Amino acid sequence: MGDSMEKGTNKKKTTTSTNTKKSTGTKNTTAKKGATNKKSSNNVAKKSVSTTKVVATPKMTTVQSTTKPVVKTVNPKSIEKENKDIIIPVKENKTEYGEKIAKKKEKLALENNEFTNLIKIVLIVTGIFLAFYLITYLVAKNKAKDTDKKDDTAEVSIQYDEILMSNLLKQSASEYYVLAYDAKDVYYDTYNTYITSYTGKANAKRVYTSILSNSFNKSYYDVDAKSNTHITSIDELKLNSSTLIKVKDGKIDATYEGYDAIVAYLKTL
């Protein structure tokens, strides 16, 4: 009995101690969880505080920077990144940039000078051409005027100096000469030379000409007929070769027929 009671008492004690341990363990577990929750709460609080500090925005203030930019001299080569396909050009320093600008300006100045010189040359050549053309035109125009004047003078002279045989004795001067010649006479230039020399003299008499081969003079000229210069009427006149006739007071004063006679007499004038 006593052993039984003692065992029962031990069992109770054991049961009580076991329960006590369990309750203690539970309390410890609860305490640990509480501590953990407190730590978590503290961490959240800290995080929230930290976040609040970051989000807080200070008042907007304008600050004018007075610091000068720092200019760094960089090696004038391309900097390659790790990816070699991408090349970033490096800015050149001021000296090299200035030299390039100066070279470009010099090149542009040379090109402008060449263009200006080309324009000047073109203008000069054009001016010379126009001046030459103008001078040529004026000279040609003056020559044409002179030629027209000479032609007019020659026509007047011919109209005045050349007469028809029918008017041989009807000229106004009291004494003059008439050279009647064939247009085919090869000695006409010789006659003309002597006559020109004579008419240049101070007291020279007027010299007229008449072309025997002219259709209006046919009745006075026949190479196969005998010449007749001793006439009382102009209708009786007949010549068969070139003849120099001297007229005085409306009558035939003397005649020189053929080359030899004409030249010989002209030389005496």
Q: What is the pLDDT of residue 19?
A: 46
For residues 266 and 187, the answer to whether their CB atoms sit within 8 Å is: no
Contacts of 163 (CB under 8 A, 6+ apart): 171, 178, 208, 209, 210
Residues facing residue 248 across a β-bridge:
175, 251
- Asked if 165 and 237 count as a contact pair (C-beta separation under 8 A), the reply is yes
Verdict on whether the full-model pTM lies above 0.85: no
- Domain map of the chain by residue range? 78-161, 165-268
Amino acid symbol at 186: V
Written out in words, the top-level CATH class of the domain with range 165-268 is alpha beta
Please list the rounded mean pLDDT of every run of 10 residues in the chain (269 residues): 45 45 45 46 42 45 49 52 50 66 78 84 90 86 66 47 93 94 93 93 93 93 92 93 95 95 95
**CA-to-CA distance for 246 and 207, rounded, in angstroms?**
9
